[in-house]
Structure 1
């Protein structure tokens, strides 16, 4: 992610808000780090993290399920083909409704957006990671090298591991983030990885987002 992350807010519903957030999260930039800004639901970093102009739409929070225990949260993610082996931190919403991104000082840690699905459960699970921060290379620096068919494994806090297969990837302009496609409902268990990509604008902010799509094996 760049020092200028843009959070995502969920517009009417989770999709619009999230799309914006994700778009900016996980980017690198030559400008000084700042926290992401919202455009719709924006996802900004935790206090002390970088943010500035991340796409954002406010993500909808899921109502508690009466009588049902919440699914076990993800604890770590591994992507051998691009050298990713990280613990997973929880990301929620900032006070302004933007989605959080990992703090710059934790650039080597992947974040899981708790407003989406739990990896391995029905729906779209979203993992956000920086490309670079002011501290240097970050966890998703080489994500653009991933290939279709690559394995992504996510282990939860109970010790169970689920595997996903990469089905595709795309680079999108942050101003045209495909919120519905990324955060919308899916027929099965899917995973989306998001980071920043592309050239920098006049303010030193990455103009694109890299999105990797994967399905449960």
Structure 2
């Protein structure tokens, strides 16, 4: 896990070298720790195939609702970045920091000391826009329970509200959840292009390995209500 503050990047501004990465290249995303007080490492690792260069955004000409005004956007202007995520059914509310890619190609995550803050992956879609928007949060860190500790309690049909920097809200409805091995992370399913205005939440899940790291990821899938 990076101990520095995440670099702030907006979608579409990643260096060309990063955009050239293919799905065959594996990135390492630090997701959460095993238990409070865990020794050396703050978290387990998630093997994540490199997101495609379009950041999960579908071709606007082929979007099913491409004529609709983007959430938080203005005519002819860029959409506003997300600022907060709220999940009332499981008692989660968090501001959002921007997460991009580290210099070594790994996905940035919130530092352990900010375990109660989730992050938006800027290489994906802006929540409410066409494409896959991804929000990442810790389950636990060495400091204790973290922002997505109770995400496992979320149910199908639950509301997730994302508020942008302009104060505009986008409401998403949970369509499915799955716990997957970190060794077989569904990269295309999570990051791949989609015509939906989709949201994915990611944290750690499952039993612990010999090093005390969770072996699975919990992925929550939602679409704009």
TM-score, normalising length: structure 2: 0.76
CA distance in 2, matches of 1:82, 1:16: 36
- Verify: 1:181 aligned to 2:189, yes or no: yes
CA distance in 1, matches of 2:134, 2:25: 13
What is the aligned counterpart of 2:114 among 106, 131, 134? 106
Q: Where does residue 45 of structure 2 map in the other structure?
A: 53
Q: Where does residue 28 of structure 1 map in the other structure?
A: 33
Q: Where does residue 13 of structure 2 map in the other structure?
A: none
- Verify: 1:172 aligned to 2:180, yes or no: yes
Q: Where does residue 133 of structure 1 map in the other structure?
A: 141
What is the aligned counterpart of 1:152 among 160, 163, 186? 160
1:57 shift after superposition: 3.5
Where does the alignment leave 5 or more consecutive residues of structure 1 unmatched?
2-8, 35-49
1:52 shift after superposition: 5.3
CA distance in 1, matches of 2:131, 2:25: 17
Where does the alignment leave 5 or more consecutive residues of structure 2 unmatched?
2-17, 56-75
CA distance in 2, matches of 1:210, 1:16: 22
SS in 1 for 2:133: strand
CA distance in 2, matches of 1:10, 1:57: 13
Change (3 A) 1:133 1:126: same
Which segment drifts farther, 69-78 or 160-169? 69-78
Q: Where does residue 38 of structure 1 map in the other structure?
A: none
What is the aligned counterpart of 2:99 among 83, 91, 110? 91
1:16 touches 1:56 (CA, 8 Å); kept in 2? no
Larger C-alpha radius of gyration, 1 or 2?
2
Across the aligned residues of Structure 1 and Structure 2, the Cα RMSD in angstroms comes to 2.6
Change (3 A) 1:51 1:133: closer
- State the aligned residue count: 188
Task: State the Cα deviation string for residues 33-66 of structure 1 (Å, max 9, x = none).
Answer: 53xxxxxxxxxxxxxxx45533234445669xxx
